[in-house]
Amino acid sequence: MGTITSAAAAATVAGQAIPTSSGEITVADILCAHGEHGPGSAERYWHHQWAVILITRGGYRLGIDPQQIFDAEAGDLVIMRPETDHAWTTCGHPRGDHEGVAAAFVLLRPPPRIELLLLRHREIRPHYARQRIGMGPAWRRIVSCLRRMQRLGASSNAMRAELQINLLEQALLWAAAVEREAADPVDPRVRRVIEYMGGHLATTITIEDLCRVAGTSRSQLAAIFQPAMGYTPMRYLEKLRLERAMQLLRMTSRTVDSIAADVGFCDAKHFARRFRTLTALSPTVYRACKEPTAASSAPR
């Protein structure tokens, strides 16, 4: 049986719990890598640290106890707690038998904020948690974060450990977003429309554009959107635009006309009227207020 341990844990007696990092993160606290193994591979390690494993190809079986073994495959995020006797094999896994397995992994002694994100994953077996991410956009973003962590680890950047931790936090937050969306009853077509709106606030958006994004007719979009969001699609778009304008008014010194154009209003006077409906204030007065808040009424 092998052992995986960081330089910070090298002097620790095996079996003694490794505490989370309570101070400055150093390169000894975090290790990033990518591993590939063919069909018929197997290994067993003692992990002193937390492990974050994203499977990128194939799959394998994990665990020591035959009664506790479970499968993980491409698109899965596996979280492993410290002080774990860890074994895996590609044998017997439907994909592992043919493809082997490839995975990006991070071993670390986490700062408290990262440990909280790790602890939110519910264990499916003692010491192990698994989250199905799938192979969609969130998976690609997580892969990107882990690859950037690897490149940083191989660099001479003086802040590489802190930057790696920030990237890991992003990856774990993307995983949390996947879980939240899975529990969200909002129709995925509605979610696609909202994401499209948020990415195109400065451009002209028609109801036909939104129907194309949703893959529905106008009547179908109205039927699924308003019950879920409480607004018609075009009124919800206006709400997003006005909320973005509120941010720009508070955080920048740009002119009101410039902000109006940036959030998709061609007419500054119309923008001011709609803005007053949301906040009960003109854009200029809103900017001057120390603690402006939106009125309870929505755009009508």
> What is the pLDDT tens value at each position of the chain, 300 positions in all?
333 333 333 333 334 444 455 557 888 899 999 999 999 999 999 989 999 999 999 999 999 999 999 999 999 999 999 999 999 999 999 999 999 999 999 999 999 999 999 999 999 999 999 999 999 889 999 999 999 999 999 999 999 999 999 999 999 999 999 988 877 778 889 999 999 999 999 999 999 999 999 999 999 999 999 999 999 999 999 999 999 999 999 999 999 999 999 999 988 899 999 999 999 999 999 999 855 554 444 455
| Residues 70 and 116 placed together within one structural domain of the fold | yes
Q: Are residues 157 and 236 in the same domain?
A: no
Domain that holds residue 51: 2-183
Q: What is the pTM (predicted TM-score) of this model?
A: 0.72
CATH number at residue 108: 2.60.120.280
What would the two tokens of residue 58 be? 């194939």
71 and 126, same domain (yes or no):
yes
Residue 294 lies in a domain: no
- For residue 297, what pLDDT is reported? 45
Question: Do 117 and 205 belong together in one domain?
Answer: no
In total, how many domains does the chain have?
Answer: 2
Looking at the structure, do residues 118 and 210 belong to the same domain, yes or no? no
Asked whether residue 152 falls in the same domain as residue 178, the answer is yes
- Whichever domain contains 223, its CATH number is 1.10.10.60
